[in-house]
Amino acid sequence: MNTLTVTQVNRFLKSLVDGDGRLRDIYISGEISDFSRSARTGHLFFSLKDEASSIKAVMFSGAAKSLKFMPGNGMKVIIRGQVTVYEAAGQCQLYAQDIQPDGAGALAVAYEQLKERLAAEGLFDRERKRPVPVCPARIGVVTSPAGAALQDILRIVGRRWPVCEVVVCGAQVQGAAAPAQLAAALKTLNLLDACDVIIIGRGGGSAEDLWGFNDERLVRAVAASAIPVVSAVGHETDVTLCDFAADKRASTPSVAAELCTPDAPGLLDSLRSYNSYFIQKAVDTLEYYRQSLDLLTKHSPLSDRGAYLKLRREKVDGLTVQLEALIKRKLDECRTELALAAGKLDVLSPLKALSRGYAVVYHEGKAVRDLGVLPEGEEVLIQAEKGRRAAKLLAKEI
């Protein structure tokens, strides 16, 4: 009689299973149960079950790092992997290489998981939201310096509120490096107290293009900003976690620029209305007291002293004229000061400089102040009022 050891039997079973090519790269669907994650190694351990059966499964940390969501008990999934026999225990086991939600995309699941966790911490609470300044002196913009979103913001701010200064802190808005750069730009503007409100965002794109604005590091940086933040990512239908953490959400970068600026022509119309209102109010008040005085003099012993009352009435009339003139002069001075300030700031606008024929030279996404530091043959980008062109430096000096 040939007696086998347990190890020999398990090893034989393993060789049979491993030798079957049909089990080397399979897709298997089921529901996760008994899920656990090793805090030391990062390995994922769970069972995959259906209505009648279950199989033990493991996903090693190397493969788990590429997951865009965290699996959990009760989640229906589709797993790609290999079935083998765990020789030490003599049981079949599934080694998972990839896990996808069954019925929902991995990005959507990751989005909902992170949204739920951050909401539980209070990062999205309405009580945390702060109002956007009505007439900001400086607006910070965190976006790509080469993107169309920045040009839209500059154009609208220049039209609606030319006295405002725009402080641009450039960063990548797409790719693996984008979240860290965007968060660093937010922190820089806060550290320097560089503006009264911050617009962070980019133009439209796919869900993958906008995914950096769902990064936990960036969402926390938006929530931690001491300066009010307006999130303007993508188009009307695009919603990111930064939108929930920000003090205000704008459907597009252009709308964000409008939210952060008053309408200068409308503001001037309001000033004119207030001017007319206060002048009329002063006139009405003086007329009321004049009529009251006339009424008192008719029923007073002083009525016989016509000359005295005439003198006082003339004094009141004189004061009325002086007051009306003073109000008009003061309003004219304020209007003049406002126009001068708007003119000076309009001259300092970067867009104004471009309209006068100047151009900005960019190298690797940054404006160049000293061309002497760039070697010959280096490629640069020249931005004029209308359009931009790439160029190559032929010599350091001519």
- Distance between CA atoms of residues 43 and 244, nearest Å: 32
Which of these ranges, 81-85, 143-147, 369-373, 386-390, has the smallest mean pLDDT? 369-373
Average pLDDT, the chain: 85
Task: Find the angle CA(235)-CA(182)-CA(154) to the nearest 5 degrees.
Answer: 55
- Distance between CA atoms of residues 148 and 202, nearest Å: 8
HEC-encoded secondary structure of 6-22? HHHHHHHHHHHHHCCHH
Does domain 112-259 fall under CATH 3.40.50.261? My reply is yes
Phi then psi for 122, rounded to 5 degrees?
Answer: 90, 10
pLDDT score, position 321: 86
Distances (CA, A) of 193 to 137, 187, 188: 12, 10, 8
Is residue 387 over pLDDT 80?
A: yes
Give the residue extent of every domain in the chain.
6-103, 112-259, 264-350, 359-392
- Distance between CA atoms of residues 340 and 162, nearest Å: 12
pLDDT score, position 396: 63
Phi then psi for 298, rounded to 5 degrees?
Answer: -70, -25
> Strand 197-202 and strand 26-37: pairing?
unpaired
Paired tokens of 37 = 């994650």
Is residue 10 over pLDDT 80?
A: no
Is residue 265 over pLDDT 80?
A: no
pLDDT score, position 194: 94
Task: Find the angle CA(272)-CA(274)-CA(275) to the nearest 5 degrees.
Answer: 60
Which neighbouring-strand residues pair with 33?
A: 47
pLDDT tens profile 144-180: 999 999 999 999 999 999 889 999 999 999 988 999 9
In this prediction the pTM is 0.53
DSSP 295: H
pLDDT score, position 352: 67
CB-neighbour burial class of residue 343 (10 A; exposed 0-12, middle 13-18, buried 19+): exposed
Query: What fold is seen in the domain 6-103?
Result: OB fold (Dihydrolipoamide Acetyltransferase, E2P) (2.40.50)
Which residues are CB-neighbours of 355 under 8 A, at least 6 positions away?
385
Is residue 209 over pLDDT 70?
A: yes
- Distance between CA atoms of residues 52 and 124, nearest Å: 42
pLDDT tens profile 196-206: 999 999 998 88
- Distance between CA atoms of residues 95 and 134, nearest Å: 58
**Between these two residues, 80 and 342, which has the higher pLDDT value?**
80
CB-based contact 107:208 (threshold 8 Å): yes
